[in-house]
Chain A
Amino acid sequence: MNWVEMISMVSAGNYNEVESILREYPYIVELADHLREQKMKVIENLGTYVDITMRNVEKLGGHAYLAKNKDDARKIAGEIVGENKTVVFSKTNAAYEVGLREYLESRHNEVWETDLGEYLVQISKGWPTHIVAPALDMTREDAAKAVRKIDPSINENSKVEDIVAAVRKFLMTKYVKADVGITGANAVAADSGAIALVENEGNIRIDTVMPQVHISITGIDKIVPTLRDAMDEVMVQAAYAGIYPPTYINVTAGPSSTADIELKRVSPATGPKDFHLILLDDGRMDASQNPDLKEALLCIKCGRCYFSCPIYRILGKDWVSTKSPYNGPTGVMWNYITNKDPWPASYCVHSGGCKEVCPMKINIPEVIKYIKYMGSKNL
């Protein structure tokens, strides 16, 4: 099966799955509408919300940082991690955006992606194809070939279950000795400094509690006013990604703590003794002040727009990727915000499917039109 056939099949499957979820759980649409309003409040006043969030992270005993750009983010994370450590990563686009894995490896750290798809991409020395399903372009045979590198019992006839089990077995040896867990955040609650993460595999749960240091790196666009909004965001993201209910929703508010003795909250308890939140700007603050671009910051990275896009469905990761972890229609916007690169926008055929399927009702074609225009100024 070639890429075009595979993505056609996957896209139809995602369409049916999301439609079925929205029929079965109609409150998701209401949550999405409310979430848009809440996220827009933050975008309109992003600087203030960054300050509130950082203050509340510190109040919980965590550490908060504002990284202005990619280099800044790498340095902050590099200093926290140090050298010669074992680091487990959950899938985090912000880390991809700044090239964090490679940077930490260059500092003599052993770094492992723990999301299955991302792990397959890592050991294949590839690049994520889709924001939610990074190894979407890999067949069972491709995955088996990659995993054979760490488990010789896997071959091209291995079942998917066997491939998954082999990766699980390998990663367990890394979890138990990991010094640092690095995750992203689907949402960050300004009112409490808590982060929310949604997943199905269970790797994020382990990454966030087993190592003694947890670093979350995420964009300032992920800030929402309240923890309730953060919970809304993970539910909406999961539903529009096509897996609902999600297997796990994780909330982390500071380092591990307990109030079991005299109801006095102390840290650490069993989980991490340190929690670090790195908030990444990298063009987002400028975008929030640009009326033609700011809607892009509403994106919750569900990846649904990819499936509706004719260009993505032909070019796949050859469209935007390797320049940016963000691909498809939202990737055109995000590649511009974070890399100031307008050229992928030129291929947009304004099919408009992206805006129809977007849970945040972002007028993606209009934003891309602006990016095309900005590109045309440099012809």
Chain B
Amino acid sequence: MKKQEGLIRSVLYKNLMEDYTPFPLDKKLAVKWAAGLNVPRGGRVIIYTSYMYQMASVFKSYEKYVPTLGSLGKSRILASIGSRFIKPSDEDVERSMKILQNIYRMVSRVKADVGYLYEEEPYSGSLLYELGFLDEFKEYGRKVLQFFREKGVEEIITVDPHTTNTLANLKKYINFDIPFRNYISMIGTVKGSGKFVMHDSCLYSRFLDMYDTVRDKAKSAGIELVEDPTVTGKGVGFCCGGPVGPLNDELSNNIARARAAALKSVYENVLVACPLCYVNLEPYCNVRDLAEVID
């Protein structure tokens, strides 16, 4: 495990410092969602995807890819080859596009002229923070902050819990002073339907104080949530297994399997609000993202 951690740190750090991405990725795929909506390039207020929805399945399998990524070295040609085979399936790309487009539409109803950095968008550095590489996290965070400043960004709208939590920690550690908000906290009246058991994002629920925010948004949209305090209570919301995936895929899957079993004991359809929760739980239960069931 120690070896794996060391390898991840060097691969992550190298990729981030050189290219603002955690691994060589196909940016054309990642930004495709914005094309049909004529989202302005850049701007004072931006929507910040941090590639989380687009690359969720790759993040999940990071453990598998790390040895390959480590062997790619610094060659840009090799990195380019890497980006071609390390990519999500067409189905995953299609799904992430719909989610991001829906989030953008909901955000646009309450905020005008929200831009996007397209291929220039930097990854937030979540993985560095979550794996405890705090020195590298702070160093990369300063680079990201500088980049946003150079682009004239004055306000950030996040779309997932990991990026939101990362910005909160950058604020704490390096005084990241660009205001940010999560889309769920800012969208207005939305409509939705369906009956679900909620699997909370650990970060929204227990680190960003959004346990009620997410529920209230879903319920006010018309979604019925089935609760069982021993499964969906704030203190016992468990985890999808995602964060340990980079170190141990089997352990990650075992957590997901156990969580899915508990959720299914409450109700057959599961609702999440995080791209990593989705990819981890999806093999074991019927799961939808909040942004797939409200609009």
Asked if A and B bind, the verdict is yes
On chain B, the number of residues with a Cβ less than 8 Å from chain A's Cβ atoms is 39
| Chief secondary structure at chain B's binding surface | helix
A4 contacts B258, CB within 8 Å? yes
User: Closest CB-CB distance, A291 to chain B, in whole Å?
Assistant: 15
B241 contacts A310, CB within 8 Å? yes
Complex-state Cα separation, A353 to B241, whole angstroms? 14
List, in ascending order, chain B residues with CB within 8 A of A369's CB. Answer: 132, 134
List, in ascending order, chain A residues with CB within 8 A of B231's CB. Answer: 12
B132 contacts A349, CB within 8 Å? no
List, in ascending order, chain B residues with CB within 8 A of A311's CB. Answer: 244, 251, 255
B234 contacts A356, CB within 8 Å? yes
List, in ascending order, chain B residues with CB within 8 A of A251's CB. Answer: none
| Interface flag for B237 (CB, 8 Å) | yes
Given contacts A349-B239, A353-B238, contact A310 B9 (CB under 8 A): no
**In the complex, per-residue mask of A1-29: 1 if CB is within 8 Å of any chain B CB, else 0:** 00010001001100110010000000000
CB under 8 Å from chain A, chain B span 218-271: 229-231, 233-239, 241-244, 247-248, 251, 254-255, 258-259, 261-262
| Interface flag for A99 (CB, 8 Å) | no
Complex-state Cα separation, A11 to B233, whole angstroms? 12
User: Closest CB-CB distance, B207 to chain A, in whole Å?
Assistant: 6
| Interface flag for A80 (CB, 8 Å) | no
Complex-state Cα separation, A311 to B255, whole angstroms? 7
> Which of B203, B244, B247, B262 has most chain A Cβ within 10 Å?
B244
A353 contacts B131, CB within 8 Å? no
A343 contacts B2, CB within 8 Å? yes
A11 contacts B133, CB within 8 Å? no
Given contacts A311-B255, A369-B132, contact A349 B244 (CB under 8 A): yes
CB under 8 Å from chain A, chain B span 1-43: 1-2, 5-6, 9
List, in ascending order, chain B residues with CB within 8 A of A15's CB. Answer: 229-230, 233, 235-236
| Interface flag for A148 (CB, 8 Å) | no
A350 contacts B130, CB within 8 Å? yes
Closest Cβ neighbor of A310 among chain B residues:
B239
Residue in B134, B206, B230 whose CB lies within 8 Å of A355: B206
| Interface flag for A247 (CB, 8 Å) | no
Complex-state Cα separation, A351 to B259, whole angstroms? 12
Given contacts A372-B131, A372-B132, A376-B5, contact A351 B239 (CB under 8 A): yes
| Interface flag for B294 (CB, 8 Å) | no
B230 contacts A346, CB within 8 Å? no
**In the complex, per-residue mask of A359-373: 1 if CB is within 8 Å of any chain B CB, else 0:** 000000100010111
On chain A, the number of residues with a Cβ less than 8 Å from chain B's Cβ atoms is 35
Residue in B135, B234, B235, B247 whose CB lies within 8 Å of A346: B247
B202 contacts A350, CB within 8 Å? yes
B258 contacts A373, CB within 8 Å? no
B207 contacts A314, CB within 8 Å? no
| Interface flag for A308 (CB, 8 Å) | yes
User: Closest CB-CB distance, B235 to chain A, in whole Å?
Assistant: 4
Complex-state Cα separation, A241 to B209, whole angstroms? 26
Complex-state Cα separation, A315 to B241, whole angstroms? 13
Given contacts A310-B255, A351-B202, A352-B207, contact A11 B5 (CB under 8 A): no
A310 contacts B259, CB within 8 Å? yes
Given contacts A19-B229, A356-B235, contact A376 B255 (CB under 8 A): no
A-B contact pairs, 8 of them (CB 8 A): A15-B230, A313-B258, A314-B251, A346-B1, A352-B206, A355-B206, A371-B132, A375-B132
- Chain B residues at the A interface, C-beta cutoff of 8 Å: 1-2, 5-6, 9, 130-135, 202-203, 205-207, 229-231, 233-239, 241-244, 247-248, 251, 254-255, 258-259, 261-262
A-B CB proximity, top 10 nearest: A372-B132, A352-B206, A356-B235, A351-B239, A12-B230, A379-B6, A349-B243, A310-B239, A357-B235, A351-B202
- Chain A residues at the B interface, C-beta cutoff of 8 Å: 4, 8, 11-12, 15-16, 19, 307-308, 310-311, 313-315, 343, 345-353, 355-357, 365, 369, 371-373, 375-376, 379
Q: A351-B238, A376-B132 are known contacts; what are 20 more A-B pairs with Cβ within 8 Å?
A: A4-B254, A8-B261, A12-B230, A15-B235, A307-B236, A311-B251, A314-B258, A315-B251, A347-B244, A349-B244, A350-B243, A353-B238, A356-B234, A357-B236, A365-B207, A369-B132, A375-B5, A376-B5, A376-B134, A379-B6
